[in-house]
A and B are shown apart, each in its own frame.
Chain A
Amino acid sequence: MTRASLPLRIAAVGGLAFLHIPLLFILLYAFTTEEKSYAFPPPGFTLKWFGVVWGRADIWAAVGLSLKVATIATVLALVLGTLAAGALARTRFFGREPISLLFVLPIALPGIVTGIALRQAFGLMEIPFSFWTIVLGHATFCIVVVYNNAVARLRRLSPSLIEASMDLGADAFQTFRLIVLPNIGTALLAGGMLAFALSFDEVIVTTFTAGQQSTLPIWMLSELIRPRQRPVTNVVAVLIIIVTFLPILAAYYLTREGEAVAGSGK
């Protein structure tokens, strides 16, 4: 094994530091005794902010709303994204490429454009802002992520597998459940997780499509303006890091295993 050259190692360490030192500051100031500003070094350490977070109903409401929005937007995206991928991966028809582009467009558009467009559309159709307008807003980009993952995997799936299944007596539904789904399952898992993560921390589209509710990112943004109890946001951020790290780790191991199974067919 050859050792990396010194400049390369310095660059790698520098890159890691750039990525992770801000996270360390988040962690550090979750424990500070100073509540108005972030002075370095912190004047003292305390665990009291965890207690404060535990007792504040507005935080739990925001967390609950974000989880609910992300879950429903992800489920919606999984269903619609998979169906769209199924329709566009194989068949050739007039206008296939433009339609495919239109599906991917929402993620390329700046969130602010999507946000304004949705706000005006909801306004024109006289749909009051609610939980569901947030979900619809998030679904626009969640579908793209699922669609992209599913379409890539479907294109790698040999079309004769589906024909073989039909040939052996399976109808379309059985074929989807027994052949297609197991072969694209890990792609859907990865797409679904990414969709969930995107929805969970989305700010811009949410700003335009939410009514009085605040999702967690919106709550955090508004909290930064308040002068007191600043470390509360840090505590929430630390909790989110912990909570998101576990499923990402799980998905990593799950998909790795899945890849091995899917790859063994090649």
Chain B
Amino acid sequence: MHVHTLSAATPAVRFAGVTRHFGAVRAVDGVDLAIAPGEFFAMLGPSGSGKTTCLRLIAGFEQPDAGHIEIFGEAVEGLPPYRRPVNTVFQDYALFPHLSVGDNVAYGLKVRGIGRAERDRLAREALALVKLSGMEARRPAQLSGGQRQRVALARALVVRPKVLLLDEPLGALDLKLREEMQSELKSLQRALGLSFVFVTHDQSEALSMADRVAVFNEGRIVQVGPPEDVYERPATRFVAGFVGSANVLGAAQAAALGGEEVPSSLRPEKIILLGHGLAEPAEAARLEARVVEVSYQGAVRRVALLTPAGLSLTALVPASAPGAMVGGTVQLAIPRGALQPMEGER
């Protein structure tokens, strides 16, 4: 066995020009990425965007047609899943129905030839880590969805992977449980210092949990960066529309509102409706618009606006502010810097 010297520059996972076809479909099309050790990395995209295939390429369930994949500096092309230092939490959990919870968790240890007593002890520890102590004798069928999710997590963690892969692990849980698991996953990842690679189509999940987000569309990564960057400065129309909602302006429209002459995004919450006692920002473009529609959404109101120049805009205003009247005219302020030129559309 040769010794690796892991410098800080050695990524946990590295893709170089990775391509995977299914027939004529390019599921993954020339993807480059580097995931740092200890990073919580989200792959975000609509279904069919290639994010799950990328995860399966890391796990070894798929082999690339072109390009290069490394895990901690070691090339893994051609290595079967059971020879890779990564483990997966499956979307449907994939718990073995004929085994008890304890035996499910101990499975990876059993196939490594670890003795009964030792693997039972490690399985108990792993179940304690996910707060399922005492559940060893149960069958998967006797557990709730949230508990199954935790068993799947314990089963993957007990074999000490270098990278944990999670395939839409929260998709099947209800909202409350999902929020609970989000913060638990995050604290678990911090405590273990592991790289988590997380596939999701839920942008709020990606934004709230990840250190960095890669946005996938049609087999390519269209933008990668910290959640704030991706949200505040979407690089393309696709990102602007998929990550949160945004007003997308053409180059001329952006220039007319004081921005650069480049297609730009404008987040609805950045638009200020004047005349409700709100201070007008010092540097802002002002314009008039007609209120087309108002919908109440609890914390905010969504206001659909139409400018005399024919530009449709959506604004989010605090619900506590006095309501804009449908059919009425309002004054808008768009602060300088609210318009974000989309780098991918230049």
Report A's interface with B, CB cutoff 8 A.
Answer: 158, 160-161, 163-171, 174, 178-179, 182-183, 261-262, 264-266
Which one of A170, A178, A179, A183 contacts B82 once the chains associate, using CB atoms below 8 Å? Answer: A170
Report B's interface with A, CB cutoff 8 A.
Answer: 59-61, 80-82, 87-88, 90-92, 94-98, 107-108, 110-112, 139-142, 155-156, 159
Tell me whether A166 and B92 are in contact (CB under 8 A). Answer: no
Q: Which residue of B lies closest to A183 (CB)?
A: B98
Tell me whether B88 and A167 are in contact (CB under 8 A). Answer: yes
Question: Which of A163, A168, A182, A262: most chain B CB closer than 10 A?
Answer: A168
Tell me whether A171 and B141 are in contact (CB under 8 A). Answer: no
Which one of A161, A169, A183 contacts B111 once the chains associate, using CB atoms below 8 Å? Answer: A169
Q: Which residue of B lies closest to A185 (CB)?
A: B98
Q: How far is the CB of A227 from chain B (nearest CB, A)?
A: 57
User: Which residues from B are CB-within-8-Å of A261?
Assistant: 97-98
User: Which residues from B are CB-within-8-Å of A165?
Assistant: 96, 107, 111
Tell me whether B82 and A171 are in contact (CB under 8 A). Answer: yes
Tell me whether B97 and A167 are in contact (CB under 8 A). Answer: no
Q: Which residue of B lies closest to A170 (CB)?
A: B111
Q: How far is the CB of A95 from chain B (nearest CB, A)?
A: 16
Other than the given A168-B108, A168-B156, A183-B98, 11 more pairs (CB < 8 A) read A158-B92, A160-B92, A161-B97, A167-B61, A167-B88, A168-B82, A169-B108, A179-B96, A261-B97, A265-B98, A265-B141
Q: A178-B111, A265-B141, A266-B141 are in contact. Are A166 and B94 (CB under 8 A)?
A: no
Which one of B97, B111, B142 contacts A168 once the chains associate, using CB atoms below 8 Å? Answer: B111
Tell me whether A183 and B90 are in contact (CB under 8 A). Answer: no
Q: A169-B112, A174-B111, A179-B96 are in contact. Are A163 and B82 (CB under 8 A)?
A: no
Tell me whether A164 and B139 are in contact (CB under 8 A). Answer: no
Q: A158-B92, A178-B111, A264-B141 are in contact. Are A167 and B98 (CB under 8 A)?
A: no
Q: How far is it, in angstroms, between the C-alpha of A163 and the C-alpha of B159 when the chains are bound?
A: 16
Q: How far is the CB of A158 from chain B (nearest CB, A)?
A: 6
Q: How far is it, in angstroms, between the C-alpha of A120 and the C-alpha of B233 when the chains are bound?
A: 78
Question: Which of B87, B92, B111, B159: most chain A CB closer than 10 A?
Answer: B111
User: Which residues from A are CB-within-8-Å of B112?
Assistant: 169
Tell me whether A158 and B94 are in contact (CB under 8 A). Answer: yes
Q: Which residue of A lies closest to B110 (CB)?
A: A178
User: Which residues from B are CB-within-8-Å of A171?
Assistant: 80, 82, 111
Tell me whether B59 and A167 are in contact (CB under 8 A). Answer: yes
Q: Which residue of B lies closest to A163 (CB)?
A: B61
Q: How far is it, in angstroms, between the C-alpha of A261 and the C-alpha of B108 when the chains are bound?
A: 22
Q: How far is the CB of B29 from chain A (nearest CB, A)?
A: 22
Q: How far is the CB of A163 from chain B (nearest CB, A)?
A: 6
Q: How far is it, in angstroms, between the C-alpha of A87 and the C-alpha of B140 when the chains are bound?
A: 28
Q: How far is the CB of A223 from chain B (nearest CB, A)?
A: 47
17 example contacts (A-B, Cβ-Cβ < 8 A) are as follows: A158-B92, A163-B81, A163-B90, A164-B155, A165-B107, A167-B61, A167-B82, A169-B111, A170-B107, A170-B111, A178-B107, A178-B111, A264-B139, A264-B141, A265-B97, A265-B139, A265-B140
User: Which residues from A are CB-within-8-Å of B92?
Assistant: 158, 160
Which one of B87, B95, B141, B142 contacts A167 once the chains associate, using CB atoms below 8 Å? Answer: B87
Q: A166-B81, A167-B81, A169-B159 are in contact. Are A183 and B108 (CB under 8 A)?
A: no
Q: How far is the CB of B112 from chain A (nearest CB, A)?
A: 6
Q: How far is the CB of B172 from chain A (nearest CB, A)?
A: 13
Tell me whether A168 and B90 are in contact (CB under 8 A). Answer: no
Q: How far is it, in angstroms, between the C-alpha of A170 and the C-alpha of B80 when the chains are bound?
A: 10
Q: Which residue of B lies closest to A182 (CB)?
A: B98
Q: How far is it, in angstroms, between the C-alpha of A183 and the C-alpha of B139 when the chains are bound?
A: 14
Q: How far is it, in angstroms, between the C-alpha of A170 and the C-alpha of B94 when the chains are bound?
A: 15
Tell me whether A164 and B98 are in contact (CB under 8 A). Answer: no
Tell me whether A163 and B94 are in contact (CB under 8 A). Answer: yes
Tell me whether B98 and A168 are in contact (CB under 8 A). Answer: no
Q: A163-B81, A169-B111, A174-B111 are in contact. Are A183 and B88 (CB under 8 A)?
A: no
Question: Which of A158, A166, A178, A262: most chain B CB closer than 10 A?
Answer: A166
Q: How far is it, in angstroms, between the C-alpha of A8 and the C-alpha of B317 when the chains are bound?
A: 72
Question: Which of B80, B90, B97, B156: most chain A CB closer than 10 A?
Answer: B97
Q: How far is it, in angstroms, between the C-alpha of A214 and the C-alpha of B96 when the chains are bound?
A: 47
User: Which residues from B are CB-within-8-Å of A158?
Assistant: 92, 94
Q: Which residue of A lies closest to B86 (CB)?
A: A167
User: Which residues from A are CB-within-8-Å of B110?
Assistant: 178
Q: A163-B90, A265-B140 are in contact. Are A169 and B96 (CB under 8 A)?
A: no
User: Which residues from B are CB-within-8-Å of A182?
Assistant: 98
Tell me whether B82 and A164 are in contact (CB under 8 A). Answer: no
Tell me whether B87 and A262 are in contact (CB under 8 A). Answer: no
Which one of B80, B96, B97, B159 contacts A166 once the chains associate, using CB atoms below 8 Å? Answer: B80
Q: How far is it, in angstroms, between the C-alpha of A160 and the C-alpha of B93 when the chains are bound?
A: 8
Question: Which of A163, A167, A182: most chain B CB closer than 10 A?
Answer: A167
Q: How far is the CB of B157 from chain A (nearest CB, A)?
A: 11
Tell me whether A168 and B80 are in contact (CB under 8 A). Answer: no
Q: How far is it, in angstroms, between the C-alpha of A160 and the C-alpha of B168 when the chains are bound?
A: 14
Q: How far is the CB of A266 from chain B (nearest CB, A)?
A: 7
Q: How far is the CB of A184 from chain B (nearest CB, A)?
A: 11
Q: How far is it, in angstroms, between the C-alpha of A183 and the C-alpha of B96 when the chains are bound?
A: 9
Q: How far is it, in angstroms, between the C-alpha of A21 and the C-alpha of B117 when the chains are bound?
A: 59
Q: How far is it, in angstroms, between the C-alpha of A265 and the C-alpha of B139 when the chains are bound?
A: 8
Q: Which residue of B lies closest to A161 (CB)?
A: B94
Q: How far is it, in angstroms, between the C-alpha of A161 and the C-alpha of B98 when the chains are bound?
A: 11
Tell me whether A168 and B61 are in contact (CB under 8 A). Answer: no
